[in-house]
Structure 1
Amino acid sequence: MVISWVYSVAMMIQHIVAEKEHRLKEVMKMMGLNNAVHWVAWFITGFVQLSISVTALTVILKYGRVLLHSDPFIIWLFLTIYAVATIMFCFLVSVIYSKAKLASACGGIIYFLSYVPYMYVAIREEVAHDKITAFEKCIASLMSTTAFGLGSKYFALYEVAGVGIQWRTISQSPVEGDDFNLGLSMMMLIIDAGVYGVLTWYIEAVHPGMYGLPRPWYFPLQRSYWSGSGRVETWDWPWCGGGAARLSVMEEDQACAMDQRRSGME
């Protein structure tokens, strides 16, 4: 499933970055679009697309006799949480790049490489027969694809045992001495989604790209940011004799402020 979603991830990243590359996002900001609404719209778009795949896959796994004994709602819930984490991963990658095609190519590669920690854990457990602690698995699960791989493993183990994943077994491991379980895997996916979201919010603010107005790295500590009040920043223009041009910036209208900044430079 990780491989099958590489194309979807790459396309979502490309569309988000293309909007930024063509300055459509800045135009919408100048028209009054709130940044949070912009991201919510992209989240809904991505979630609707992936939810179709999630629902179809749940039906195939359950009624195709692949996960015959597992609760179908748990299967759907696990895949849905993973879809949410994947969408947030796309958001995180999209704020790093400014070129759509480059972002699409690199995003797909990064998404696939984030599965490598799971392969490392699986080899150590199944080939070298090493004991991997729950803490180490949680650290590896900071990559959403790794958390998904670990969770899928417990589905397979319980199916082999003829029990399947049920609500009573979701917090237990069928392997003796194993402290990790499907419940922890799902919790790590939720944490991953939150971490990706926070990083997206922060990186976009301090590194908005060519057409945004960057905030200082310490902006979360500023009262003006959380209160929503305006702020005044000073820009030193070398051709103004070293004088300082005062530029008034409203918190939710950075695109307009950047336009004023370019006008002053001209």
Structure 2
Amino acid sequence: MGLDNWLHWTAWFIKSFLMLGISSVLIVVLIKIKWFEGVSVLTFSNWSILLVFLLIYTIASICFCFMMATFFSSASTAAAVTGLVWFITYLPLSFTVKTYETMSLGSKLGWCLISNTAMGFGFKEILGFEGNGEGLQWNNLFKTVSVDSNLTVGAIMLMMLLSSVIYMLICLYVEQIMPGDFGVPKKWNFPFTVSYWCGQKEYVGIEDMSNGSASKASGFLNSIEPFD
């Protein structure tokens, strides 16, 4: 008896989240340690919100990898292509360095659906708060760094959570229509069928069968003698 899909994905998510969560904690510790004369990498920012930011980025990263894994049946191919795509997702951050200040809010939020780009935008805003001596705090999570800025760290975190949901929806959808060698693929439009959500089975009558199957079924029914 095999595991349900949701148990399979949940187990992998918990395992990955615990491993990467430990890394996030260590990163926050290194960022907040006062290395020299009471100065740390991010001296003014609250450590708890930095940890939450990194954990949300971790969730988005895990969901992205889950999504990529469903497109391949070979683990080695999936790892190679996912690694390549992972680094490609850093490119929008490089392309928007010079135009960041003039970009519209909608454009920035759209780019934030890519988790690595969102992480870069987030740390850019965090460094802005550090520069004005305020640091990122819970009370300025949804406030802009300056009057000229139009993006907040809170909005970036929400977009990363939204991207996580999108990644997982794509993952679960592709898994159903491309289940691999040992699964039964569903039709591409299965989410829009009543039978999928309500568990109703479609009736298949003789008129819906092929000619060969229909003739066999008719012969079988005719061979049955009625009871007296």
TM-score range, shorter chain: 0.7 to 0.9
Distance 1:68 1:217, change over 3 A: same
Question: Is 1:56 aligned to 2:31, yes or no?
Answer: no
The 5-angstrom pairing of residues 1-266 of structure 1 reads 31-64=1-34, 65-125=40-100, 131-229=102-200, 243-244=212-213
Q: Measure how far apart 1:166 and its partner are.
A: 0.7
CA RMSD, Structure 1 to Structure 2 (Å): 2.0
Give the TM-score taking structure 2 as reference length.
0.84
Counterpart residue type for residue 48 of structure 2: F
Give the TM-score taking structure 1 as reference length.
0.72
For residues 198-245 of structure 1, give each alpha carbon's deviation from its aligned partner in whole angstroms, at most 9, with x where no partner exists: 0001111111123221101110112221224556789xxxxxx97459
Counterpart residue type for residue 187 of structure 1: L
Distance in 2 between the 1:57 and 1:101 partners? 29
Aligned structure 1 segments of 4 or more residues deviating by more than 2 angstroms: 227-234, 241-245
Task: Confirm or deny: 8 A CA contact 1:134 1:178 kept in the other structure.
Answer: no
For residues 21-57 of structure 1, give each alpha carbon's deviation from its aligned partner in whole angstroms, at most 9, with x where no partner exists: xxxxxxxxxx141111111001011001100101111
Counterpart residue type for residue 16 of structure 2: G
Q: Which moved more, 1:161-170 or 1:77-86?
A: 161-170
Counterpart residue type for residue 146 of structure 1: T
Distance in 2 between the 1:159 and 1:233 partners? 67
Match of 2:219?
A: none
Rg (Cα) greater in structure: 2
Distance 1:232 1:38, change over 3 A: farther
Distance in 1 between the 2:141 and 2:96 partners? 21
Q: Measure how far apart 1:159 and its partner are.
A: 0.9
Task: Confirm or deny: 8 A CA contact 1:69 1:159 kept in the other structure.
Answer: yes
Identity %: 34
Q: Measure how far apart 1:63 and its partner are.
A: 1.8
Distance 1:161 1:193, change over 3 A: same
Q: How many residues align?
A: 205
Task: Confirm or deny: 8 A CA contact 1:91 1:197 kept in the other structure.
Answer: yes
Distance in 1 between the 2:3 and 2:87 partners? 33
Distance in 1 between the 2:9 and 2:213 partners? 35
Distance 1:179 1:230, change over 3 A: same
Distance in 2 between the 1:244 and 1:70 partners? 72
Distance in 1 between the 2:134 and 2:24 partners? 23
Distance in 1 between the 2:41 and 2:48 partners? 15
Distance in 2 between the 1:142 and 1:233 partners? 43
Distance in 2 between the 1:167 and 1:155 partners? 12
Structure 1, gaps ≥5 residues long = 1-30, 235-240, 246-266
Bigger strand fraction? 1
